[in-house]
Structure 1
Amino acid sequence: MRTHKKNALIAAALIILAALSLWYATKPATTKLATPTAIPVRVVSVTQKDVPRYVSGIGSVISLHSVVVRAQIDGILTKILVKEGQLVKTGDLLATIDDRSIRANLDQARAQLGQSQAQLQVAEVNLKRYKLLSVDDGVSKQTYDQQQALVNQLKATAQGNQAAIDSALVQLSYTQIHSPVTGRVGIRTVDEGNFLRMTDTQGLFTVTQIDPIAVAFALPQQMLPTLQGLINDPQHAQVKAYIGADTEGETGNLLGEGHLTLIDNQISANTGTIRAKAEFNNSGQKLWPGLLVTVKIQTALDKDALVVPPTVVQRGLDQHFVYRVNGDKVETVSVQMVYQGSSQDIIKGVNPGDVLVSDGQSRLKPGSTVQVLTDPPPVVQSESPQ
């Protein structure tokens, strides 16, 4: 009997254990609140400084004076007195042409002038004598008039002879070729001993002014009012010329600094651009005629401007905004875009020193928890054992 009760108790205990196991197995799990995950971002601080504004364009270096040296008379080139690439000044003797024939013509014209002057002198003496005799009818009026006409004729002949002398002197001056400008001599195309003609279009060489020099460039027509204000500024707008730079002029080698000197008198209807010119001092000869350069013109200066990198400002549906870090969370702040550049933007609506998100905005919304990332430490490579 005791054995039967004992077995009954064991069976009841097993049933209770099985029921408890089943209840725990089917018990609904309690919902645990997920811990918010911090979004990694990078940040920058708003800086305040004076920021110059620039406009950029592509320009071509041009010489202020470039002259093709040609012969003005026919003749043999007897001597070239300069070397290729030599710097010359205005009036320097560059080359000479055979002048023997012209000198002979000059001597002949001078001899004819002397002959005419001698004849004129005799005719004027006779004219005075005839004038005295005509008072007492010692000579006819007709004879006196003929003598007066002879004097006038000889005067005209003498003037013609003098004109021939002047012409020969001009021709003689053409046998010595002088530099019309200060500049650099180009590659020579004719050697000594060649016969030159006035009709030769190639010329002997070119003389091109290098210092000062100019850069011609084109800007959109919307820049015309700005350019007009700059060229009327007595301080002269500063223009910088670069090579190897993009249109923003942020990279590349600076070749020179000049000032705006000219705006073209019309806008191109085909391209909608206005041409302008700037002049540069070029003592170092870094600017060379024909060289393509990038020009930057300072159009304004924003004092105490609030500056951020371009990645900070986000574009909303109807306005710009930024994410500002407040503790470990972010908030959106509407801003006004004052100036947009390639490396920095000028904005309004924030304060100097505000910490703004510069990377990682795609996962953010107002009130998001953020984790500010720092730049990883530089990797130091250990030297391999020898």
Structure 2
Amino acid sequence: MPKRRWWIVVVGALSIAALVLALRHRTTSRQQGASAARDAAAARDRPVPVLVATVERRDVPLYLEGLGTVAAYHTVTVRPRVEGRLDAVRFTEGHTVRRGDLLAQIDPRPFAIALRQAEAVVARDRALVASNRRTLERSRSLLDQRFAAQADVDAALGAFEQSQATLRADEAQAAAARLNLDYARITSPIDGVTGLRQVDPGNVVRPSDANGIVLVRQIDPIAVMFTLPQDELPRIAAEMARGELPVEVYSRDGSTRLGVGALAVLDNQINQATATLRLKAVFANPARALWPDQFVKTRLLLTTVRGALVVPAAAVQRGPQGTFAYLVSPDQRVVVRPVRVDRIEGEQALIADGLSAGDQVVVEGTSRLRAGARVQTRDGGGRGARRTAAP
């Protein structure tokens, strides 16, 4: 009997201990669950560092950007207009020349001799015309006195008119000889810059020479040929009809502005292979910042939107319901605000509806945001859309 009671006592004690442990484990689990829930809630409400910008109302220029090539305003291959031995070259390669400046001299002696011969023939013809005129006058006088026949007058008149025709032909020959002598002096037809000399003195040059003597290019003013999508043609033509359209030109990497000019010409056809339109702009180039065949970037100022609402393009998000922005409320929580974008211009978005001047919108850090999330911002200042950096 005592042994049985001992077992009952042991079993009861073990049961009580197990019950105590179970209750303690349940209490601990509940406490841990509550703590985890509190931690999760705290994590969800922890401020998210973001970069924000302030919506501004200001004038925004609208540009059309393209790629182009610099071209000389005028290009002339200076060729001889008569054949002869090149006596001298009077220009310095790469230097500026003016219209009419002497560039080269062909041996003038053969042309001077030909001119003297032609002038001698003209002098003979004039003497013959004068003699035939006197003969005609005498014949007419004798006819009036009935001492000559009409046939004599007709013959004298024919000789006179024939000598006049011969004189005119020989005068033309003399003018051609004089012109050839002038052509022996090769002058620049335009203001420009000379290139490399294509022939040396002592060589015989001809009008048919493909390379000529030198290439002269006018580079002040200078032109830029560039292309834009054909879909922009209606807007460009409409704005061009209202007035001059400025064009900015930049270095190929876009880091340096090389000049500001004006749109001059729209090409009269569209390239079907590329669906682009060629345009020509003209620039003053006194410092020679632009050089023929140089690759450049262009920006055509199409128009200026007055009083536009502007934010960085990064502030505009896209979702299943359309475009929206994360608006920062005064209590530093974000609100999902649907917006209607008028256009994207470079790194700027022009807002048609949904935002107001002075609103703050998130531009970086949007991947961790949700509606109602708290954010932490710090005013970074700056012009345009103000940017605020996270700490």
TM-score (norm 2): 0.86
**Given residue 127 of structure 1, which amino acid in structure 2 is its aligned partner?**
L
**Given residue 337 of structure 1, which amino acid in structure 2 is its aligned partner?**
V
One of 299, 302, 307 as aligned partner of 1:304: 307
Give the CA deviation at 1:287.
Answer: 0.7
- Please give the alpha-carbon distance, in whole angstroms, between the structure 2 residues aligned to 1:85 and 1:353: 57
Asked if the contact 2:250–2:256 (Cα under 8 Å) also holds between the matched residues in 1, the reply is yes
Give the CA deviation at 1:176.
Answer: 0.6
After superposition, where does 1:1-386 map in structure 2 within 5 Å? Answer: 18=17, 21-28=20-27, 29-30=29-30, 31-32=33-34, 33-34=37-38, 35-37=41-43, 38-44=46-52, 45-234=54-243, 236-245=244-253, 251-326=254-329, 327-347=331-351, 348-372=353-377, 375=389
Change (3 A) 1:135 1:40: same
Secondary structure of residue in 2 paired with 1:211: strand
Asked if the contact 1:187–1:205 (Cα under 8 Å) also holds between the matched residues in 2, the reply is yes
Change (3 A) 1:12 1:202: closer
Asked if the contact 1:43–1:355 (Cα under 8 Å) also holds between the matched residues in 2, the reply is no
Asked if the contact 1:73–1:175 (Cα under 8 Å) also holds between the matched residues in 2, the reply is yes
Change (3 A) 1:19 1:272: closer
- Please give the alpha-carbon distance, in whole angstroms, between the structure 2 residues aligned to 1:17 and 1:317: 60
Deviations 1:156-209 (A, max 9, x none): 121122111111011111101111110001000111111112221111111100
Asked if the contact 1:261–1:278 (Cα under 8 Å) also holds between the matched residues in 2, the reply is yes
- Please give the alpha-carbon distance, in whole angstroms, between the structure 1 residues aligned to 2:333 and 2:242: 49
- Please give the alpha-carbon distance, in whole angstroms, between the structure 1 residues aligned to 2:11 and 2:121: 161
Give the CA deviation at 1:19.
Answer: 6.5
Change (3 A) 1:40 1:144: same
Change (3 A) 1:306 1:315: same
Asked if the contact 1:41–1:357 (Cα under 8 Å) also holds between the matched residues in 2, the reply is no
**Given residue 245 of structure 2, which amino acid in structure 1 is its aligned partner?**
A
Aligned to 2:381: none
Asked if the contact 1:47–1:352 (Cα under 8 Å) also holds between the matched residues in 2, the reply is yes
Secondary structure of residue in 1 paired with 2:314: coil
Change (3 A) 1:86 1:16: closer
Change (3 A) 1:364 1:195: same
- Please give the alpha-carbon distance, in whole angstroms, between the structure 1 residues aligned to 2:15 and 2:211: 119
**Given residue 371 of structure 2, which amino acid in structure 1 is its aligned partner?**
P
- Please give the alpha-carbon distance, in whole angstroms, between the structure 1 residues aligned to 2:232 and 2:81: 46
Percent of aligned positions with the same letter in both sequences?
34
Asked if the contact 2:51–2:365 (Cα under 8 Å) also holds between the matched residues in 1, the reply is no
- Please give the alpha-carbon distance, in whole angstroms, between the structure 1 residues aligned to 2:26 and 2:91: 108
Change (3 A) 1:333 1:163: same
- Please give the alpha-carbon distance, in whole angstroms, between the structure 2 residues aligned to 1:135 and 1:91: 59
5+ residue gaps, structure 1: 1-6, 246-250, 378-386
Give the CA deviation at 1:36.
Answer: 3.3
RMSD of Structure 2 on Structure 1 (CA): 2.3
**Given residue 349 of structure 2, which amino acid in structure 1 is its aligned partner?**
D
- Please give the alpha-carbon distance, in whole angstroms, between the structure 2 residues aligned to 1:119 and 1:16: 158
Task: Report how many aligned residue pairs link the two structures.
Answer: 363
Asked if the contact 1:116–1:154 (Cα under 8 Å) also holds between the matched residues in 2, the reply is yes
Give the CA deviation at 1:26.
Answer: 4.9
Asked if the contact 2:309–2:350 (Cα under 8 Å) also holds between the matched residues in 1, the reply is yes
Secondary structure of residue in 2 paired with 1:65: strand
